[in-house]
Amino acid sequence: MSQSGATVSPDCITAFNDLKLSKKYKYIIFKLSDDFKQIVIEDASSDGDWEVFRERLISAQSKSKSGAVGKGCRYAVYDFEYKLASGDGVRNKITFIAWSPDDAGVQPKMIYASSKEALKRTLTGIAQELQANDADDIEYDSILKVVSKGLAG
């Protein structure tokens, strides 16, 4: 259990295994429940359109415990598939993204930061982890460069 007390919903593990093993999903977006006690699935999709996924993160909203609504933090996993520039085929890397926009509320950012490890520990098979704090951090080309270590073509 994390310091914040947030637990991981069993559905998160099931969906992650569906993404990893059966390729049922291209990405999964996780959020904290409204009472901040559990990490749950917000969206799981087989749509491989990076811009749709990116927009979901950018437009995420969260409520604070006082009830105010503002920019929202999220966790996400995305199954990156890329071709090697060398022509040696296609690779897949499951990438964990911790989305914490700079202009999100302090309280949600702290709770998300303290709950991240609890989620990561339950998701076996993550190849890469990224921290993203603004829209530029989740541009497809820049993330692909990091995930592929510059080998994508």
In a domain, 139, yes or no: yes
In a domain, 2, yes or no: no
Q: What is the pLDDT of residue 116?
A: 94
How sure is the predictor about 139, in pLDDT bands with cuts at 50, 70 and 90? very high
Q: What is the pLDDT of residue 5?
A: 66
Q: What is the pLDDT of residue 67?
A: 75
> Residue 96 and residue 119: Cα distance in Å, rounded?
10
Q: What is the pLDDT of residue 35?
A: 86
In a domain, 1, yes or no: no
CATH at residue 36: 3.40.20.10
In a domain, 153, yes or no: no
In a domain, 124, yes or no: yes
Q: How many domains does the chain contain in total? A: 1
Which range marks the domain in which residue 84 is found? 7-148
Q: pTM of the predicted model, to two decimals?
A: 0.92
Which of 74, 76, 138 shows the shortest CA–CA distance to 109? 74
Answer for the pair 122, 8: CB distance below 8 angstroms, yes or no. yes
In a domain, 122, yes or no: yes
Q: What is the pLDDT of residue 153?
A: 77
In a domain, 125, yes or no: yes
In a domain, 71, yes or no: yes
Q: What is the pLDDT of residue 1?
A: 41
Q: What is the pLDDT of residue 93?
A: 95
Percent of the chain past pLDDT 70, that is, above it, reads: 96
